[in-house]
Chain A
Amino acid sequence: MKSEEKMMTAIAAFVVRFYKWIPFVALLLFILSIISASNIETKTEIKDLMSEKDPLIASYIEVDSVFAGGATVMITIEGNDKARMGQCAEDFVASVRANDRLMREIKAINLKVDRQFMDDWGLMLAKAKDLEKTQETFSELNLLPFITSLNNSFEETYTGDEAEEELETNKQEKDAVATLAQLESFFTLMREYLENPEAVPFEEQGRTLAETFMYGEPYQFNHDNTMLLLTITPTFNTVEIEKIVAFMKEVKTIITKTNNRYPDLKISYTGDVPIQSDEQDALGFDMAVPSIVALMLILVLFIFSFNQLRSIIFILAVLILGIVFNYGFIGITIKEINMLTSIMAVLLIGLGVDYGIQIVTNFTTYREDGCEPQEALRLTYLKAGMGTLLAALTTAIAFFVMSATGVKAFEQFGIVMGTGIINCFLAMFFILPSILLWWGKKDLGKTHLPNINYQFLANLGKTTYKHRTTTIIVGSIITIGLFAAMFLNRMEYDMMKLEPENMPSITQYKKVMEKFEMTPFASTVIANSIEEAREFTEQLEKTPLVADINSVSYFFPPADEQQARLAAIAKIRNMPPRYRTMNYTTEDMETFTYEVQRTEWNIIEMGDLSVAGLGENNKIVKKRNAMIHEVFGAEVGKPGREVFQKLIMLIQSNPAKYAERLSKLDHYFAREMDAIVTRMSRANRPMTINDLPESVRKSMFDATGKRNLVMIYPDEGVLDNIDNIRHFNNSVARVSPRITGATQIMTAWLAEVISASGKAGIFVFAAVIFFLILNFRDIKYVVFASVPLVLGMIWMAGIYPLLGQKMNFVNIAVVPLVIGMGIDFGIHIAHRFKVEQNIETVYRYTGKGVFLSAFTTMIGFGSLGLIGRFGSVNSMGRILFIGILMCLLTTLIILPSLLTFDKKNKPL
């Protein structure tokens, strides 16, 4: 007796002896696996696929651990009434502050400008040279001289012959837009007060108008004031999943309750934390629902293919056991599931079910031949056991060799899938036979279920044999065409498209990007001191494609600049009286309207000047057009809010009446302005870290107060293509190689995955060829078995772009799997043909197995591709589905022609 027969006989004897024990052991293992699987964390980011030793990942993890990765919850309030939106935001924040559970997890809430801080240090944030100009503006705080001085200052800054500010960089663009927003609020409010003087007391009008100018817009609105944005900085980082999920549950409850009180507004959420929370739901869905759907579909397919309902249910039940065992294994080893390994269950369903089919088919056949169950089982092991074992080992080894690529994602994937195959095989090899012995059908009479006839496969074999020359020519043409189409493949670089579709946080993220023209993926770096932060910031401001920088260095200029600012503030502090009583005349109102007109002209010209440096669609032009009207040289386009013309027309409608109202408003305005300037000019020492608003201090400095976070936001167009992403990454890397973030990780991963996929493909292919040579010992059959795979891969790569699909960072990693799975079809057909030398026989018997094997795998991938919520996960399903389908087609259509090409036409 051969050694393999001895081994199989021993296994059969073991199962026959312990078949009533094995299911209990399996049940125990199942329970232990469930417990172990509860340790598994789900990781949804690209960085989770990379090694923590990678310097970029190490920096990322450091930022995440020290500064919670700059993670935020963004709350947006949409509407058309600014005042009501502000009120709603205050109400929402009050509810959050009243929630002790939430507040324990919150580091800072950024709702509006901190007025106390502005009173104490507002002037210290202005450059010394600007403070010099401000002295003149503050010298007469009555409205007319104040606006006149404001215009003078505006022209000195932007449009005059002494202008120092150019409008070329994103920082300059941002500052200019803030100035425009401030002016819009100021002049709009002024018109409202002049129009409706009784709405609020004059004292309050004067105070509010002065505060609006001095503190600016308190809330963060987009350029057309239809969205208010506030942020919450949590204490936890983006890997603390349980906290994230619990936190967001509370936040969502408050959002719902607040929104019920403001039905005319829409409150939504987005940001890293909500996205993580929503992703957990989506990944959980992707790990479970497509697998369940695939199992159900396979069940239906088998019922109508095999007519053995009970056995099929046994197969699927044991398959679930095998998969759960593997989750148990992951729970005690790797302890995490990432974007790649999340498709494990679907893959194992497609691959693992084959082993069960072999066992059941053989066992049932022997039973039908009159064998007793024990004997049927022994024969099953003897005849089909070793083949099944070798098939499982081949597949497992193909996966294990992926681990040798040295890339974390592939190592994990290879191990998870390799052990998954072994677990499924062992379950099918020991548990399934035990169940068949114990609970298998005693009466093997036929059922009344209709049966699918797979004769069409034999007919297909016959047809391709008959027209083998035509088939080869047509196949070659298709292959050449699809080979050319292969070069149409494009990468998807928009990471948002890899996120789950219709996820509330993603939908709102896109809206925030559109409304605020900001790119969500900030790069970050930890500066070891304020000086280093300043050095980084100064260089980054000049760096191309950097849209915005968030840095503490803006609060702490160099010591000499701080002293210069203090000296300028001292001059403001020591100014003589800054206002007088003014009774406006109708002539004054003419001058006043001229100054308002002058402000409009200045803003229009500022927009014109910005076009050269920042392009036609810059934010200054958008803001200008929204607050005034569209400007095309001497032509006027779409109307805007006409902030200035409405005020001018109002005053011109009755200059005497509005002169009187302006006089009253001016009295309180000038007095309040003076009070604010007095408060702001008290600063008489350099600012320290402790003077910063708590929200800034806690989110930007570490516990030591030295290390601080610099956040770099790329231009909104950066993510459009890989060249821009690389340009941005290279540019910021020149400032510091420690700068890390989503764009850096994305390109690093891309480089890694392309190289590793190629390597994995070669390894898997080499392993497969090695086994083919061992198996066939005939190079001709090795080639025959490989051709469908090679053609299938070409067809897959060509058809994919023709279907409008793009490759992405995740699905490119699973392409090597097609090699491991697609080769099987060729092997089975070539092997059987070597034995039978008759193509119809081959397709009648082996064709069905190959078809079902491919079809079950395709059902798994298809359900993933159609139902998977993650863009990245369903794209993996799609490419694998197409890959397997193409390998199946080339096996069923092209291979018969190749196998029989040198044969003369003779009866089959």
Chain B
Amino acid sequence: MHFSAKLLGISLISLLTFSLFADEDALSIIRKVDEMGKTNTSIAKMSMLTFPYSEDNSNYREMKVLAYGQGEDNSYMEFITPKSIQGLRILSLEGDQWVYFPSTGRVRKIAAKSKNQSVQGVGGDFSYEDLGGGSMEENYTFKITNSDDKSWTLEGIPKKESSYSKVLITVLKDNYQTPKIEFYTAEDGHKKDLIVEEYKTISGRLMPTRMTMLNLIKQSKTVVIMHEAEYDIPIDDKYFNPMRFYK
């Protein structure tokens, strides 16, 4: 198990929250999308449900975590469930990761992984890159490939090394929400779909609170449910200190 350097909740939100200001230019649209996702700090309680087979809703594993986020790259996670790893904590700090094992009382620095690897268990079908830092604008060059009365479809081509060959983002014109992001790779073609199923207003913002990453190749899916969240509130620095985060 290896964990993303990015707080899960913050990363997903940055992928999925949008400006309410309309514009017909791809760059300005995506800038507004990025702008809405920006938070300085966050605290969220969330569940990650991994389904080995997307059509079998009875077979899944659930993990519940308390996640603290700071900026785009720093995160702290504490496992609430499953019982066997209750209290296990993970600190991701600018690319480095530490794990505190309550079972042994030891803290261990763990290996960082390549971008396309799945954050199995914790991330399920979300790869490190899906949760990685950087804004949409920084990571992709966008153009509008389709436009109708209700939405734009933006095609994003990676600006730097990426496991994806392109992404297709559907942006709704009335509120700039993105109900769907399609991920493509050179090897597998259309590989994954990120579908937002529920939004709630949290701290005055419309935030995605339930989203599903569907892996079309593995036929698996991962559902993230945000139970509680707070944004831009003060967080004790100890959570982002490798020497103190476990205390």
User: B87: which A residues are within 8 A, CB to CB?
Assistant: 633-634
Additional pairs, 11, CB under 8 Å, beyond known A608-B103, A612-B121, A615-B61: A155-B108, A160-B108, A604-B104, A611-B82, A613-B120, A615-B121, A616-B82, A621-B84, A633-B85, A634-B103, A635-B86
- Min CB gap A804→B, angstroms: 20
| B202 interface contact, C-beta 8 A | no
Give the distance to chain B from A334, nearest Cβ to Cβ, in Å. Answer: 40
Q: Are A717 and B59 in contact (CB under 8 A)?
A: yes
A612 touches B120 (CB 8 A): yes
Residue numbers in A under 8 Å from B63 (CB-CB): 612
**Given A621-B84, A721-B56: A633 touches B122 (CB 8 Å cut-off):** no
B-facing residues in A216-259 (Cβ within 8 Å): none
In the assembled complex, B106 has its CB within 8 A of some CB on chain A:
yes
- Segment of A139-147, A162-170, A511-519, A899-907 engaged in the interface with chain B: A162-170
Q: Per a CB cutoff under 8 Å, which of B84, B109, B111 touches A633?
A: B84
CB-CB under 8 A from A720, the residues of chain B are 59
B108 adjacent to A631 (CB under 8 Å): no
A263, chain B: closest CB distance, angstroms:
40
User: How many Å from the CB of A166 to the closest CB on chain B?
Assistant: 7
Which residues of A in the span 317-368 have a Cβ within 8 Å of any Cβ on B? none
User: Do A544 and B1 touch across chains, with their CB atoms under 8 A apart?
Assistant: no
Asked whether A608 lies within 8 Å of B101 as measured between CB atoms, the reply is yes
Closest A residue, CB atoms, query B83: A632
5 pairs of A and B residues whose beta carbons are closest in the complex: A612-B121, A612-B1, A633-B86, A633-B87, A634-B102
A529: interface (CB < 8 Å): no
| One of B56, B82, B111, B121 near A160 (C-beta < 8 A) | B111
Given contacts A162-B111, A608-B85, A634-B102, contact A168 B219 (CB under 8 A): no
* Nearest B residue (CB) for A161: B109
Scoring B residues 44 to 65 as 1 if CB is less than 8 Å from chain A, else 0, what string do you get? 0000000011011011010100
Interface 9-residue window, one of A296-304, A724-732, A755-763: A724-732
Complex Cα distance, B80 from A632, in Å, reads: 11
Which residues of chain B have C-beta atoms less than 8 A from A531's C-beta?
A: none
Query: A723–B219 Cα gap in the complex (Å)?
Result: 11
Q: Are the C-beta atoms of A163 and B59 separated by less than 8 Å?
A: no
One digit per residue, 1 when the CB lies within 8 angstroms of any chain A CB and 0 when it does not, for chain B 23-67 equals 000000000000000000000000000001101101101010000
Which residue of B84, B105, B113, B121 contacts A613 across the interface (Cβ within 8 Å)?
A: B121
Query: Within the assembled complex, what's the spacing in Å between the Cα atoms of A164 and B113?
Result: 9
24 A-B pairs, CB-CB below 8 angstroms? Answer: A155-B108, A159-B110, A160-B108, A160-B111, A161-B110, A161-B111, A162-B111, A166-B113, A166-B117, A168-B120, A545-B52, A601-B106, A604-B103, A608-B85, A611-B84, A611-B121, A612-B120, A613-B1, A613-B121, A615-B61, A632-B84, A721-B58, A724-B56, A727-B219
Chain A CB within 8 A of B15 CB? no
> Nearest Cβ distance between residue A844 and chain B, in whole angstroms?
56
Whether A609 is near chain B, meaning CB under 8 Å from some CB there, is yes
CA distance A601 to B104 in the complex (A): 6
Specify which chain A residues have a CB less than 8 angstroms from the CB of B53 in the assembled complex: 544-545, 723-724, 727
What interface size band does chain B fall in? 35 or more
Q: Whole-angstrom distance between the alpha carbons of A730 and B218 in the complex? A: 10
Question: Is A168 a contact of B121 with CB atoms below 8 Å?
Answer: yes
B220 at the interface (CB under 8 A from A): yes
Q: Distance (Å) between the CB of B96 and the closest chain A CB?
A: 8
By beta carbon, the residue of chain A nearest B50 is: A615
Contact with A along B213-224 (1 / 0, CB 8 A): 000001110000
Chain B residues within an 8 Å CB radius of A611: 1, 82, 84-85, 121
Minimum CB distance partner of B48 in chain A:
A612
Is B2's CB under 8 angstroms from A166's CB?
yes
Q: Are A633 and B106 in contact (CB under 8 A)?
A: no
Nearest B residue to A731 via CB reads: B219
Q: Is A277 an interface residue (CB 8 A)?
A: no
In the bound complex, residues from chain A placing their C-beta under 8 Å from that of B118 are 168
Judged by a CB distance under 8 angstroms, whether A605 is at the interface is: yes
A: which residues have CB within 8 A of B?
A: 155, 159-164, 166-168, 544-545, 601, 604-605, 607-616, 621, 631-635, 717, 720-721, 723-724, 727, 730-731
When chains A and B are docked, how far (Å) is the Cα of A266 from the Cα of B218?
43
B88 is an interface residue with CB less than 8 A from chain A: yes
A731 cross-chain contacts in B, Cβ below 8 A? 219
List B residues at the A interface (Cβ < 8 Å): 1-2, 52-53, 55-56, 58-59, 61, 63, 79, 82-88, 99, 101-106, 108-111, 113, 117-118, 120-122, 218-220
A727 to B51, CA, bound (A): 12
Tell me, rounded to whole Å, the shortest Cβ–Cβ distance linking A637 to chain B: 9
Task: Assess the A608–B219 pair: CB atoms within 8 A.
Answer: no
Residues of B within 8 A of A634 (CB): 86-87, 102-103, 105
- By a CB distance below 8 angstroms, the chain A residues around B79 are 633
Instruction: Tell which of B59, B84, B111 touches A608, judged by Cβ atoms closer than 8 Å.
Output: B84
For the complex, give the distance between the alpha carbons of A608 and B100 in Å.
11
- Chain A nearest CB from B103 CB (Å) reads 5
Minimum CB–CB distance for A9 against chain B, Å: 67
CA distance A607 to B88 in the complex (A): 12
Q: Are A166 and B84 in contact (CB under 8 A)?
A: no
Partner of B52, one of A162, A544, A605, A616: A544
Max chain B CB contacts within 10 Å: which of A160, A608, A717? A608
- Taking the nearest CB of chain A, how far is it from the CB of B2, in angstroms? 7
Whose C-beta in chain B lies nearest to the C-beta of A720?
Answer: B59
Set of chain B residues within 8 Å of A601, measured between Cβ atoms: 104, 106
Interface centre among A612, A632, A635, A730 (most CB of B within 10 A): A612
CA distance A105 to B79 in the complex (A): 56
**Least CB separation from B220: chain A residue:** A544
Asked if B121 and A633 make an inter-chain contact with CB atoms under 8 angstroms apart, the answer reads no
B residues within 8 A CB of A612? 1, 63, 85, 120-122
User: Which residues of B lie under 8 Å from residue A727 when comparing CB positions?
Assistant: 52-53, 55-56, 219
On whether A166 and B59 interact (CB within 8 A), knowing A160-B108, A161-B111, A633-B83, the answer reads: no
Residue of A nearest to B87 (CB): A633
With the chains together, A723 CA to B220 CA distance in Å? Answer: 12
B108 touches A730 (CB 8 A): no
Contact residues in A for B84 (Cβ distance below 8 Å)? 607-608, 611, 616, 621, 631-633
**How long is the Cα–Cα vector from A355 to B85 in the complex, in angstroms?**
72
Known: A544-B218, A723-B53. A610 touches B1 (CB 8 A): yes
Contact across chains for A544 and B219 when beta carbons are under 8 A apart: yes
Please name the residue on chain B nearest to A169 by beta carbon: B120
What CA separation (Å) do A562 and B25 show in the bound complex? 56
Question: In the complex, what residues of A have CB within 8 A of residue B110's CB?
Answer: 159-161, 163
For the complex formed, measure the closest distance between the CB of A494 and the CB atoms of chain B, giving whole angstroms. 15
Min CB–CB distance B86 → chain A (angstroms): 4
With most chain B CB atoms within 10 A of its CB, the pick from A160, A161, A621, A717 is A161
